[in-house]
Amino acid sequence: MPLKKIVIIGPESTGKSTLCEQLAAHYHTGWVPEYAREYLMTHGTDYKYEDLIAIAQGQLALEDAYTARSKNLKLLFVDTDMYVMKVWSEFVFGKCEPWILEQILLRKYDGYLLCRTDLPWTADELREYPDPVTREKLFHIYKDCLVNQDTPWSEISGQAGQRLEGAIRAVDKLIA
């Protein structure tokens, strides 16, 4: 059985990384962390448009490395993909590198989980948008991306345990 990949996306501070880690534990499998965090912690938060292509390439290299290590697994969770890079790039800079858009077309996934903004925003040194209106706007941009593509997806909402239970139900449907 080939490796199935489920991507978790959504605005910042919606529990994507936590959910990836919890789902990987539940299914006894692996997950790919978000490369942007490592990049920004190393290079600083004063990023430029050109940094986003380096972050996108780093994310895909990280995903490829985890995929290569997951040959005996049936499922891999991915925290962030090129839709996130597209939304980030267009939201902040009003444009997106064609390479990122090409990767959206080339990379194939088995499902998406879109995290709602119903968790309280948690500040950290990398997060930029605490405003609920902006967070909800970003959520709808992500939702528009998913509505206009063919890979199945589910919205994930609720607090801690509810969120995980909903995600498990969604993943079970995606991998059935």
What is the residue range of 92's domain?
Answer: 4-175
Q: How far apart are CA 164 and CA 7, in angstroms?
A: 15
- For 30-83, write each residue's pLDDT tens digit: 999 999 999 999 998 899 999 999 999 999 999 999 999 998 999 999 999 999
What's the structural domain count of the chain? Answer: 1
% of the chain at pLDDT higher than 70: 95
Q: Which CATH number does the domain housing residue 170 bear?
A: 3.40.50.300
pLDDT confidence tier of residue 108, bands split at 50, 70 and 90: very high
